[in-house]
Structure 1
């Protein structure tokens, strides 16, 4: 394990950039930070609110799921509605793309993933305000800028990812530590949720990434680590010394380097992974991944 950065303000959403730097969002600080390692990093944008997840889009920009913010003194959701934002990594310019789905305000967008067509799937976790817990949604931002809800229901939807063949959207549910999958019937249209697995013990799920073989690697809270779930529901656990392991992304020459955000200690780490990650559309690629089932942009 190698520590790439320390002192981060609740890091999430690692994105491996084409130059092999890593971008993270800092939920507590409301910033987007680029990290080169060896102590070098810089804030490239300050969207405010609660930047919670990020991905590279078809235009090379960063797309950020912003939950609207958290009242850290009380540990409750801020009342501001959330949004999807575009961040220019070169200039730091921020553009609000979407704050409604089907005419309803987004509440707390959490994590996001692009499909091959350039559409953006994302979770809207909902908020907890004055003890009331809102239901979650899985939404889809079309390339033309319209946004729809593919599914509404469930509680505390967090991490999201696509199966290698794009037949399924996977969603991690925080409070129950359950993984669900939804059949993709059309862009922005999902079938009913199907249960895949539940993590054993007293734990919580956060964000996720998918491997080239189709395994789902989920950041795991309280017990601290990564829970790897097979499409058949089998689970394995990789412990990491942090109670808030929030997210994971893959990169490196063979896509076998896992970049993992640790929110309790404020670190970004890199560690070897036993299998290659699935290259993301429009994201980091290397010559060794050109034959993968997931090419960059197609």
Structure 2
């Protein structure tokens, strides 16, 4: 494991670029940033709020889930996000044009209900994207989480799944027929059948939001995820800091990092076996080699992305 960069302000949402650099969001700093192979950090765009997830989209835009920000706490040198801040103005979906640096806000609500804490997103083969809304916490409680589907041009958004417990990472199977999501406080990994763009198949039973792949033992939490080319699901893991790798039946392995929290990862490189992982609480970005290739995401290998 190689530490590529340090001193980042809660890095999340890594995106591997063809030139070897990595785009990240810095949640506390409120920016989309670029980490060069040398480790040099530069700001691409100021976003405000709390940018949390990022994905390459069409026409050289990077799409951002912005959770609206957190209160922040230092626990022995580990940066920990807390409740909704006093200056919270709502969650949003933004996009940044990589060449010009222009920032646009696409969505702040769905059917009159404000977005609360958009967290992570994944594009499908139809050019739309799924995203999680983790909700926001206050001293009085925590919102229900939701999963949405939206068009990349900002013209349509719909809620596909509601009343979830802190949905965080989200991804699609290689054939696009299964949507995976991870819940943070429950450390559960779920799977849904995709019936059509923006529409999920029925839940398997009452009280179950989707098909359960795994619930982890002990006290640990899940964050964002990515999918391998063969279908394994790789989930950033908190407390038990590292990446937990699942097959479709729930069997798992764990790659431990010397960190409290690995929040997200991405695949890249010529053979898609380079992995960059964000250790948000320590402000580090890691790089390591992977046993199997990752799944190339929609737009990831486009020559138009610079």
Gaps of 5+ in 2: 74-80, 204-209
- The Cα of 1:102 is off from its aligned counterpart by 2.7
What TM-score do you get using the length of structure 1 for normalisation?
0.93
Partner of 1:290: none
What TM-score do you get using the length of structure 2 for normalisation?
0.90
User: In structure 1, what is the Cα distance between the partners aligned to 2:137 and 2:301?
Assistant: 35
8 A Cα contact 1:55 1:62, kept in partner: yes
Partner of 1:30: 30
User: In structure 2, what is the Cα distance between the partners aligned to 1:37 and 1:143?
Assistant: 30
8 A Cα contact 1:220 1:244, kept in partner: yes
- The Cα of 1:265 is off from its aligned counterpart by 1.7
- The Cα of 1:103 is off from its aligned counterpart by 2.7
- The Cα of 1:201 is off from its aligned counterpart by 2.0
Partner of 2:133: 124
8 A Cα contact 2:82 2:137, kept in partner: no
User: In structure 2, what is the Cα distance between the partners aligned to 1:20 and 1:231?
Assistant: 31
User: In structure 2, what is the Cα distance between the partners aligned to 1:101 and 1:234?
Assistant: 36
Q: Matches of residues 39-58 of structure 1 in structure 2 within 5 Å? A: 39-58=39-58
8 A Cα contact 2:3 2:285, kept in partner: yes
Gaps of 5+ in 1: 287-295
Partner of 1:264: 281
- The Cα of 1:285 is off from its aligned counterpart by 6.5
8 A Cα contact 2:18 2:269, kept in partner: no
- State which of 67, 80, 83 in structure 2 corresponds to 1:76: 83
8 A Cα contact 1:70 1:76, kept in partner: yes
User: In structure 1, what is the Cα distance between the partners aligned to 2:23 and 2:272?
Assistant: 17
Are 2:206 and 1:189 equivalent residues in the alignment? no
Please, what is the CA RMSD of the aligned residues? 1.7
- Runs of 4+ in structure 1 deviating by more than 3 angstroms, as ranges, are none
User: In structure 1, what is the Cα distance between the partners aligned to 2:149 and 2:242?
Assistant: 29
Are 2:1 and 1:12 equivalent residues in the alignment? no
Are 2:170 and 1:142 equivalent residues in the alignment? no
User: In structure 1, what is the Cα distance between the partners aligned to 2:39 and 2:225?
Assistant: 26
User: In structure 1, what is the Cα distance between the partners aligned to 2:101 and 2:302?
Assistant: 23
